[in-house]
Amino acid sequence: MTVSKLNTTRALAKTLDVADLIKAGRILLVAGDEAELTQLPEGQWVGGTVSGFLTPDGFTLPAGQLIYADLSQIALRVELRLFDSIQIQSLSEYYPCNGFALAILPGYSAFLENIATHMSDWQGLYNIPLAGWVSAVPLAEIGHRQPKVFCGTGTAWDDRAAIMYVTLPDATYAELNVVNPFCSAIGPAIRFSESGYRLSAPCMADGQSVRLIDLITNGTVDASLPLIADRDGALVNNSIINIESATGDITFLSPIETELVYHFAEASSIFKEALRRAVAGINLPEAALASVCVACLPHFSADIRPMLPAIAPVTFGQIGYTVLTQTITSLNLSCLPLPSEAQDPS
């Protein structure tokens, strides 16, 4: 197989047109509303619901349309698998020798809560790039609609993960990039006594029992910024997506972990420069695949748009081997140099 280009075709299209591509045997990664995804036929595709689309025109979720990435020109072969929360722990057993895997996990689900805290312990997880996203719904619909995933058919799942294993030609390789502009943390060290997405119990802040909502209302912390924790040497974010002032309940984008110590991220007065540093050396606009966390949107402005992926799903988090939030991820493809190109001309 000859790869004519190293970036996939990514587009916003009518649902019927995406269905025609699937019927024609194209290999697709698809994102959109559940009502549209359930109309798609059986084929070589995986997909998930999203909060919306990032397009050249901004953030949108138009009815009757989906965004897709066509992997047909770069994939030697693909394998689709649907895993429950036990089976997915062995996902690396099906990794191709050369290629990558795409995982779409159901957002705001018991499934995600069961696996998110220990994915990094899974055997062989890091042997090839593992990318993807956490499925989503518009923020206003949390609690009313459940994020879903799809694996080769129009059947929706909220308790399974959809995995696509992609084998690449020998001379082609994939590189996973994670963009996190929020890398430094300040403020009190926070520990939670309960885990989950929605918490109301007091937390410990620098050893003192306090309600998180009180830290927010008195200005000690900024709820628009992510909480950052160190998990086995890797920084992980979590984001507040809803605050109920009357009850003090706080809703998070990913499950809170009682074992971790959290700090709120340091505010960047020049977010554009922080993002520019984070994306240095990464070609996001031309990435083969990319996704953007919905919690990043409030920090984007018009002058930042040229640095972002041209077309991407807006989700409840990314898969960069493990579950990430308030990040941008991309999968970039490259070719190894030909033997003649690799030789030293001197």
Q: Which residue has the higher pLDDT, 135 or 295?
A: 135
Q: Give the C-alpha separation, 290 to 55, whole Å.
A: 12
Give 17-20 contacts, CB < 8 A, sequence gap 24+: 18/66, 18/68
**Residue 20 and residue 30 in contact, taking contact as beta carbons nearer than 8 Å:** no
Give the other-Cβ count within 10 Å of 38's Cβ: 14
pLDDT at residue 248 is higher than 80: yes
- Average pLDDT of span 199-204: 91
Q: What is the pTM of this model?
A: 0.89
Domain ranges of the chain: 9-179+273-335, 185-265
Residue from 331, 324, 53 nearest 182 by CA: 324
pLDDT at residue 341 is higher than 60: no
Please report the pLDDT score of residue 310 as a whole number. Answer: 80
pLDDT tens-digit map of 89-127: 999 999 999 999 999 999 999 999 999 888 988 999 999
Q: Give the C-alpha separation, 77 to 75, whole Å.
A: 5
Q: Locate tokens 């799942």: which residue?
A: 157
- φ/ψ region of 47 (left if φ > 0, alpha if ψ in -120 to 50, else beta) reads beta
Please report the pLDDT score of residue 274 as a whole number. Answer: 76
Q: Locate tokens 């809170």: which residue?
A: 256
Please report the pLDDT score of residue 6 as a whole number. Answer: 52
Token readout for 63 is: 């009815």
Q: Give the C-alpha separation, 135 to 49, whole Å.
A: 5
pLDDT tens-digit map of 139-150: 999 989 999 999
Please report the pLDDT score of residue 294 as a whole number. Answer: 92
Please report the pLDDT score of residue 228 as a whole number. Answer: 92
Please report the pLDDT score of residue 208 as a whole number. Answer: 95
Q: Give the C-alpha separation, 87 to 162, whole Å.
A: 12
Q: Is 50 helix (H, G, I), strand (E, B) or coil?
A: coil
- Average pLDDT of span 267-285: 75
- Average pLDDT of span 153-177: 96
Residue from 148, 51, 156, 143 nearest 106 by CA: 148
**Residue 40 and residue 68 in contact, taking contact as beta carbons nearer than 8 Å:** no
pLDDT tens-digit map of 278-289: 777 787 887 889
pLDDT at residue 275 is higher than 60: yes
Please report the pLDDT score of residue 339 as a whole number. Answer: 59
Of 51-65, 163-177, 259-273, minimum mean pLDDT range: 259-273
**Residue 33 and residue 314 in contact, taking contact as beta carbons nearer than 8 Å:** no
Q: Give the C-alpha separation, 31 to 36, whole Å.
A: 9
Radius of gyration of the chain from its Cα atoms, rounded to whole angstroms: 20
- Average pLDDT of span 191-208: 92
Helix (H) or strand (E) holding 213: helix 212-217
Q: Give the C-alpha separation, 315 to 88, whole Å.
A: 21
Phi, psi of 211, rounded to the nearest 5 degrees: -80, 140
Please report the pLDDT score of residue 28 as a whole number. Answer: 98
Please report the pLDDT score of residue 64 as a whole number. Answer: 92
DSSP 8-state code for residue 110: H
Alpha carbon dihedral 150, 151, 154, 160, in 10-degree steps, equals -50
Please report the pLDDT score of residue 1 as a whole number. Answer: 34
Residue from 325, 331, 308 nearest 132 by CA: 331
Give the other-Cβ count within 10 Å of 220's Cβ: 14
242 to 125, 224, 251, 253, 262: CA distances (angstroms): 32, 10, 5, 9, 18
Please report the pLDDT score of residue 3 as a whole number. Answer: 34
Of 216-230, 262-276, 305-319, 332-346, minimum mean pLDDT range: 332-346
Q: Which residue has the higher pLDDT, 159 or 10?
A: 159
pLDDT at residue 236 is higher than 90: no
3-state helix, strand, coil in the chain (%, to 5): 20, 40, 40
pLDDT tens-digit map of 289-339: 999 999 888 888 777 788 888 889 999 999 999 999 988 999 989 887 755
**Residue 292 and residue 308 in contact, taking contact as beta carbons nearer than 8 Å:** yes
Q: Give the C-alpha separation, 326 to 315, whole Å.
A: 10
Please report the pLDDT score of residue 117 as a whole number. Answer: 80
